[in-house]
């Protein structure tokens, strides 16, 4: 069992109970992407005490990543991001079990990746990958914590299959995707990432109200957050006509 002293301030007044902390310690979270959003999500999950983190990313570290991907040390330039992220976790919180796969997720290789994980955090950086992950999460009844940024702006929501609308309900999936590269700033990316980690924390502990059918939009030019509500689109090609029963498995299987 992890050392509970580490989490004293999680369990102080206005915090969570020992039982809720133990839920974090026995939980497993799948983080899709170890780039900008992935850095912030992984760091915050590790600090909260999530007991097992699985990281998926096929990329190696490039010089241009370091303006925002703050989990990675410069000495790891040229190494796989998943290895670099694991190094950081193990130095910061050795009690955390880390799984990793250095792969670019696709519709063929995803099945084994998601097995045993009920919470997926979307830290991908392309719309194409985000919609693919949305489809996979709906199809396999996984809770998806969506986040994304573009320049000064960001957004996030929590998608629970059969309970909420999905990414395609908010913005219908495009037939083709452009591979445009937009600006990405560390404070914006890490703000959204921190909020994704906070949603994950609430899912696991059951504390607070989740962002269900609510999209938080951060406008970093004005410094404001807006909450947009949406609903499940009955004609959504991704999430309509599914009758899943949500099964949420918390415990790490040894």
CB of 122 to Zn ion, least distance (A): 14
From 71-79, 80-88, 198-206, 237-245, span contacting Zn ion (CB under 5 A): 237-245
Residue 159 interacts with Zn ion (CB under 5 A): yes or no: no
Any idea of the CA torsion for 21, 119, 129, 198, to the nearest 10 degrees? -30
The nearer residue to Zn ion, 164 or 191, going by C-beta atoms, is: 164
The nearer residue to Zn ion, 45 or 169, going by C-beta atoms, is: 169
Tokens 């079990």 sit at which residue? 97
The nearer residue to Zn ion, 27 or 238, going by C-beta atoms, is: 238
Chain-centre distance for alpha carbon 215: 15
For the segment 58-77, give every residue that binds Zn ion (CB under 5 A).
Answer: none
Chain-centre distance for alpha carbon 252: 18
Q: Which residues pair with 154 in a beta bridge?
A: 149, 218
CB of 164 to Zn ion, least distance (A): 9
The nearer residue to Zn ion, 52 or 168, going by C-beta atoms, is: 168
Residue 239 interacts with Zn ion (CB under 5 A): yes or no: yes
Helix segments in the chain, DSSP class H? 18-25, 36-48, 81-92, 110-114, 127-139, 167-170, 186-205
For the segment 163-222, give every residue that binds Zn ion (CB under 5 A).
Answer: 166, 168-169
What distance in Å separates the CA atoms of residue 219 and residue 205, rounded to the nearest whole number?
29
Report the interface residues with Zn ion, using CB under 5 A: 166, 168-169, 236, 238-239
């Amino acid at each position: 069992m992890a050392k509970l002293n580490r989490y004293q301030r999680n369990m102080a007044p206005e915090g969570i109970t020992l039982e809720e902390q133990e839920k974090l310690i026995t939980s497993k979270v799948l983080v899709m992407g170890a780039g900008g959003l992935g850095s912030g999500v992984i760091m915050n999950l590790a600090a909260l005490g999530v007991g097992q983190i699985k990281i998926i990313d096929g990329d190696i570290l490039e010089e241009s990543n370091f303006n925002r991907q703050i989990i990675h040390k410069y000495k790891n330039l040229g190494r796989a991001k998943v290895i670099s992220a694991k190094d950081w976790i193990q130095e910061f919180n050795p009690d955390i079990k880390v799984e990793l796969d250095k792969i670019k997720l696709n519709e063929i290789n995803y099945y084994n990746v998601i097995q045993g994980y009920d919470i997926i955090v979307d830290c991908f950086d392309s719309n194409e990958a985000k919609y693919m992950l949305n489809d996979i999460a709906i199809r396999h009844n996984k809770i998806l914590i969506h986040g994304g940024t573009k320049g000064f702006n960001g957004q996030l929501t929590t998608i629970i299959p059969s309970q909420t609308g999905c990414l395609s309900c908010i913005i219908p999936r495009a037939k083709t995707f452009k591979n445009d590269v937009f600006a990405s700033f560390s404070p914006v990316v890490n703000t959204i990432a921190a909020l994704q980690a906070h949603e994950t924390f609430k899912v696991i502990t059951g504390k607070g109200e989740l962002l269900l059918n609510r999209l938080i939009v951060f406008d970093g030019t004005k410094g404001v957050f807006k909450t947009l509500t949406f609903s499940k689109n009955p004609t959504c090609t991704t999430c309509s006509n599914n009758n899943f029963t949500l099964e949420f498995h918390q415990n790490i299987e040894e």
